A = this chain, B = another copy of it.
Amino acid sequence: MGIEIERKFLVAGDGWRGATEGPPVPIRQGYLAAPGAAGATVRIRRAGAEAFLTVKGPGGLVRAEFEYPIPPQDAEAMLALCTTPPLAKARWSVTHQGHLWTIDVFESPTSLAGLVLAEVEMEAADADPPLPPWLGREVTDDPAYANARLISHGRPG
């Protein structure tokens, strides 16, 4: 049993780019089940040389999460079973006052190109990590910014 506790934000400007650690990890992911805010999400992800099959419960700050490493060739075959083409993004890392932030720069589908989202994973729902100055609006509880929704509905607003 896993629990993911995560806050998610829009990103305002490029202030984070000077603080990145290492090259970005190229990510491609698709969904076998993408019910949005209610029900479980089943995600196939390629992340660099690795691959994962991940089941997540309904979205929000605290979320059930079960992640299993799988052979990359399995992931490629299952991405082909997904109903929509995979989403592609570059994942950068920035440490801000002891907390690791991941910054996803979306590349495709073209409806998402240019979207940038930042996430911080926390040990507890009340961990209250210091917020970097380059964050925009918080979208933790906005189902429109769930990757499973972005892939099928495009960029909000």
Contact = CB atoms under 8 A, between A and B. Distances in A.
| Residue picked from A1, A53, A64, A81, most chain B C-beta under 10 Å | A81
A68 B66 contact: no
A42 B39 contact: no
A97 interface: no
A64 B77 contact: yes
A55 B68 contact: no
Task: Report the contact-size class of chain A (Cβ under 8 Å from the partner).
Answer: 20 to 34
Interface of A: 1, 32-33, 39-40, 42, 53, 55, 57, 64, 66, 68, 70, 73-74, 77-78, 81-83
23 contacts: A1-B73, A1-B74, A32-B32, A32-B40, A32-B42, A33-B33, A33-B42, A39-B81, A39-B83, A40-B81, A40-B82, A42-B55, A53-B66, A53-B68, A55-B78, A55-B81, A64-B77, A64-B81, A66-B70, A66-B74, A66-B77, A66-B78, A68-B68
